[in-house]
Structure 1
Amino acid sequence: MGTGADLPAEGRARTAGDLLKAYVGLIKPRVIELLLVTTIPAMLLAQRGLPPLGTFFATLVGGIMAAGSANALNCVADADIDSVMKRTKVRPLPKHSVSNRHALVFGIVLGLASFAFLWATTNLLAGLLAVATILFYVFVYTLVLKRRTAQNVVWGGAAGCMPVVIGWSAVTGTVEWPALVMFGIVFFWTPPHTWALAMKFRDDYERAGVPMLPVVAPPRQVSRQIVRYTWATVLWSLLLVPATSWLYAAFAALSGLWFILMAHQLHGATKRGEKTKPMKLFHLSNTYLTLVCVGLSVDSLLGWPALGWPFL
């Protein structure tokens, strides 16, 4: 990868530790944490218990590599945007800790390695899905949707839904309906999660020329859309009930009710013209998704009889 000899002197990593930290920053560990939170319950539900440990850990490692590749390539494509946004100025490329060329090579190599690793340790389908996810995130979301439409995170967010499908396919070698339901949960969850963040950093996105919904629409319209997608998320999550037991149903219903109430609270404050705290909903959305995944994981590990379709 080099030491950044083509960088300005003030941007070069001073030690091997600095360089390592810069490359770790490229893969966006905080984002990867969220992907792991959704991948694990997908594998557990697919097995209806704990999969073989080799498959379990191989899928997580391969998933981290694939997500890291997509994130690193995203950093390269968005280097100009990141350099003008206060929230992202500290990333490795705006700080010139790593050159764009080295980051590009790093992302490509990591992506190829993720495919080879998943194919070798799980199955070809999981590897192909990982590659498709990387390509979609970079070429469809980052290079096309993000800078052109306020619906960017709606359709582009599909990339963030793929870890559940990859996790399921790694265990079973197939893609079945529960995996698609889990895909839908993350799909509907992504807009309210991201739009809440964008409400807080609206000026940042506007300065960078990114047409996030809070940039191009009034706050009331944004909060209304957040409410709609929150309801869709919670209702969609209940479609997993036939494949699970009452334990998951309780987790999904109670955490979903909390999520919905907070979304309506944000919308109500927006309608009244009061000062809002969108980051409260942003953090809550993370908690909500975590609770749903924890409930699903515990339910799957216990292996209690699924309620089945007649329940629904």
Structure 2
Amino acid sequence: MTDATSMTDVAPDARTGEAQFGDYFALLKPRVMSLVVFTALVGLIVAPLPVHPFIGFVAILCIAVGAGASGALNMWWDADIDKVMKRTAKRPIPAGKVEPGEALGVGLALSGFSIVLLWLATNALAAGLLAFTIFFYAVVYSMWLKRATPQNIVIGGAAGAFPPMIGWAVATGGVSLESALMFALIFMWTPPHFWALALFVRTDYGDAGVPMLTETHGRRVTRHHILAYTLLLVPVAVGIGFTSIGGPVYLALSVALNARFLWGAWQVWRRDDAQAEADNYATEKWLFRISLSYLFLHFGALLVEAALRAAGWSFF
């Protein structure tokens, strides 16, 4: 680890003025929240039991707020390393717009609000899964795994994989093979997605003392891991097509997407650093870009299958 400033001592004199609403909203990591909301909504809609629209709205709101609470707690804890990394230096705390204690208060308050309201509006399992997700991201990942092991992204990816399972639990009060596979889809996608980014965001993690795989084991090993996890991802993604929430539309799209993703991972694997530097990591950046749409398209296809079933078009 670097001897960076502790969480509670981050630039206390650098406060640029009164914090605005947008500064507090940025604490919630809205771009991450959008994926959480979408996958949770899909989990709720594709579940076999209907949910009253108002209850569904409240549930998705709670999941979104819970995700935002996790983001605020993460920013509070990681303020010392955020100010070192170029891509995070403009976040509200290192930029001096929000004080660490304020971020902690926002995170704790929103966590309690979202969990209790989800419990009252739906059921204990859904609320329990949301509580565990917040705890896992804020404590297990942020406070422990992120700074302790190069497998931080692998294990920590579970936090981002729970939303569709929570949505399913809202509708059914339980878990199933389908919700477990939606969880596994996000879980297995996370490592190649982030490691592709780490390959071309070269110095940030090392400067911050974060043991990202690229820093601890090198880029050659990272390329091996990207290909390995992509190979594990493909059968999970395609396999969903053969469950009660899948169908021919999903299967066709998933096969095409995974063929492209696997080809990209193969291309990244076969390159060395000299080749990557020669074209400014073009292939690695391409793999990262297509990974951004990978989940959205898979979960969007599940929505299409649900709409077809609702219209009476059942193929399986």
Q: TM-score, normalised to structure 2's length? A: 0.89
**Matched residues in 2 for 1:37 and 1:283: separation?**
19
Alignment correspondent of 2:302: 296
Moved more, 223-232 or 155-164: 223-232
Q: Identify the range of structure 1 (155-164 vs 119-128) with the bigger mean alpha-carbon deviation.
A: 119-128
Question: In 1, are the aligned partners of 2:189 and 2:230 still within 8 Å (CA)?
Answer: yes
- What whole-Å deviation, never above 9, does each CA across 1:9-48 have from its counterpart, x for those lacking one? 652444xxx5211101100001111212321221122137
Which residue is equivalent to 2:65?
65
Is residue 115 of structure 2 the alignment partner of residue 115 of structure 1? yes
Which 10-residue stretch deviates more, 144-153 or 243-252? Answer: 243-252
Find the residue that maps to 2:126 and give its secondary structure.
helix
Aligned partner of 2:220 in structure 1 is 220
What's the secondary structure of 2:162's corresponding residue? helix
For 1:84, the equivalent position in structure 2 comes to 84
Secondary structure of the corresponding residue to residue 196 of structure 1: helix
- Structure 2 match to 1:310: none
* Aligned amino acid, residue 232 of structure 1: L
**SS, match of residue 147 in structure 2:** coil
Asked if 1:245 corresponds to 2:247, the answer is yes
Partner of 1:31: 32
Which range moved further: 97-106 or 116-125? 116-125
Specify the code of the residue in structure 2 equivalent to 1:205: Y
Cα pair distance change 1:212/1:306, threshold 3 Å: farther
**1:270-285 pair list within 5 angstroms:** 270=272, 273-275=275-277, 276-277=281-282, 278-285=284-291
Supply the distance in 1 between the matched residues of 2:94 and 2:37 (Cα, whole angstroms): 27
1:19 maps to 2:20: yes
CA shift for structure 1 position 271:
7.4
Contact 2:308 2:314 in 1 (8 A): no
Report the Cα distance in structure 2 between the residues aligned to 1:132 and 1:242, rounded to whole angstroms: 27
- How big is each residue's C-alpha offset from its partner over 1:82-124, in whole Å with a ceiling of 9 and x where there is no partner? 0111110000000111111111011000000001221122222
Aligned mates of 2:83, 2:273 — CA distance in 1:
34
Counterpart residue identity of residue 57, structure 1: F
Q: Is the 8 A contact 1:75 1:93 kept in 2?
A: yes
- State how far apart, in whole Å, the 2-side matches of 1:133 and 1:234 are: 25
Secondary structure of the residue aligned to 1:175 is: coil
Q: After TM superposition, list the pairs within 5 Å mapping 1:96-111 onto structure 2.
A: 96-111=96-111
What is the match of residue 3 of structure 1?
A: none
The structure-2 alpha-carbon separation of the partners of 1:30 and 1:211, relative to structure 1 and needing over 3 Å to count, comes to same
Contact 1:62 1:114 in 2 (8 A): yes
Aligned position for 2:194: 194
Q: Does 2:314 correspond to 1:305?
A: yes
Partner amino acid, structure 2, of 1:282: F
For residues 39 and 113 of structure 1, what CA distance do their matches in structure 2 show?
18
Contact 1:13 1:98 in 2 (8 A): no
- RMSD of equivalent CA atoms: 1.9
2:267 corresponds to 1:261: no
Identify the range of structure 1 (212-221 vs 98-107) with the bigger mean alpha-carbon deviation. Answer: 212-221
- Structure 1 residue aligned with 2:175: 175
What runs of 5+ residues in structure 2 fail to find an aligned partner?
A: 1-9
Poorly superposed stretches of 4+, deviation over 6 Å: none
CA contact (8 A) 2:12 2:99 kept: no
For the 8 Å contact 1:223–1:270, the answer to whether it is kept is no
Counterpart of 2:124 in structure 1 is: 124
| Distance in 1 separating the partners of 2:11 and 2:200 | 33
Q: Distance in 1 between matches of 2:314 and 2:207?
A: 53
Q: Which residue of 2 aligns with 1:43?
A: 44
Contact 1:83–1:89 (8 Å) recurs in 2: yes
- Partners of 2:308 and 2:69 lie apart in 1 by 34
Partners of 1:302 and 1:218 in 2: how far apart? 47
Aligned partners of 1:143 and 1:9: how far apart in 2? 25
Task: Output the amino acid matched with 1:230.
Answer: T
Aligned to 2:145: 145
Deviations 1:258-290 (A, max 9, x none): 111111122223377343232321121111111
Deviations 1:202-257 (CA, angstroms, capped at 9, x unpaired): 31100000011111122222112111111211211122122222111112111111
Which of 286, 293, 303 aligns to 1:287? It is 293
- The letter of the residue matching 2:302 is L
